[in-house]
Structure 1
Amino acid sequence: MATEEMKIYTLAEMKDKYIGKIGNPERDEYEYELRMDVLGKMIKSARQERKLTQEQLGKLVGVQKAQISKLERSANSATIDTIIKVFRALKAEINFNVKLEDNFLKLA
């Protein structure tokens, strides 16, 4: 009895096939949402590591607990300024990289 070999796909191949290639608006939106979700999880993890409640972090940043909760679920509605304030309040370093053609700009 001959066995068929199962084809293995990389994550990038699956994204290309089911979401679209890089540069496609649907793929760009997916990648953006994914990054914002990861950023929210980083905020939550750093807050918990510092043993702060959402309310305590909100007071340090100058926002309501609800905004911290919203950030942790997905940071896509936050301004860069708010995100920087949150990480500063957490005494955590955050870096933003911007690529212009072949040159990188770094905002720390």
Structure 2
Amino acid sequence: MEKKIIKSYSLSEMKDKYIGIVGTPDRDQYEYELRMDILGRMIKTARKERNLTQEQLGELIGVKKAQISKLETSANSATIDTIIKVFKALKAEISFNVKIENQNLQVS
């Protein structure tokens, strides 16, 4: 009996094949949505660490509970200003890295 060799693929190879290579519109959208999902989860984790409800966090920054819920499930529609307010209310540090022509800029 002959053994079959099964080819394995890395996650990167699978994303390239099924979503598109880095730099294509579909891949860029996928990577953006993934980062926003992670940001939402970070907000939720920090909120729970501070023992705050969504309603309490909303009150701290002047928004409704529904907006906090939406932010935690998908930060896609959030403005940077709102995200900064949320992390300040949570007493959490946030920083942004911007890369311009091989030069890193960091804003905290």
Q: TM-score, normalised by structure 1?
A: 0.97
> 2:107 & 2:67 partners in 1: Cα distance?
24
Structure 2 residue identity aligned to 1:5: I
Q: 1:1-108 counterparts in 2 under 5 A?
A: 1-108=1-108
Instruction: For structure 1, list consecutive stretches of 5 or more residues without a partner in the other structure.
Output: none
How many pairs does the alignment contain?
108
Structure 2 residue identity aligned to 1:56: Q
Report the alpha carbon displacement of residue 44 of structure 1 after superposing the two structures with TM. Answer: 0.5
Structure 1 residue identity aligned to 2:16: D
Q: Secondary structure at the match of 1:5?
A: coil
> 1:101 & 1:2 partners in 2: Cα distance?
53
Report the alpha carbon displacement of residue 2 of structure 1 after superposing the two structures with TM. Answer: 1.6
Report the alpha carbon displacement of residue 31 of structure 1 after superposing the two structures with TM. Answer: 0.4
- Structure 1, residues 36-70: CA drift from partner, whole Å, max 9, x if none? 01100110111011110000000111111111000
Q: Secondary structure at the match of 2:104?
A: strand
Quick one: percent identity of the two aligned structures? Answer: 71
> 2:4 & 2:107 partners in 1: Cα distance?
51
Instruction: For structure 2, list consecutive stretches of 5 or more residues without a partner in the other structure.
Output: none
> 2:45 & 2:6 partners in 1: Cα distance?
38
Report the alpha carbon displacement of residue 29 of structure 1 after superposing the two structures with TM. Answer: 0.4
> 2:3 & 2:43 partners in 1: Cα distance?
48
CA RMSD of the aligned region, Å?
0.7
- Structure 1, residues 57-97: CA drift from partner, whole Å, max 9, x if none? 00111111111000001001000010001001001111111
Q: TM-score, normalised by structure 2?
A: 0.97
Runs of 4+, deviation exceeding 3 Å? none
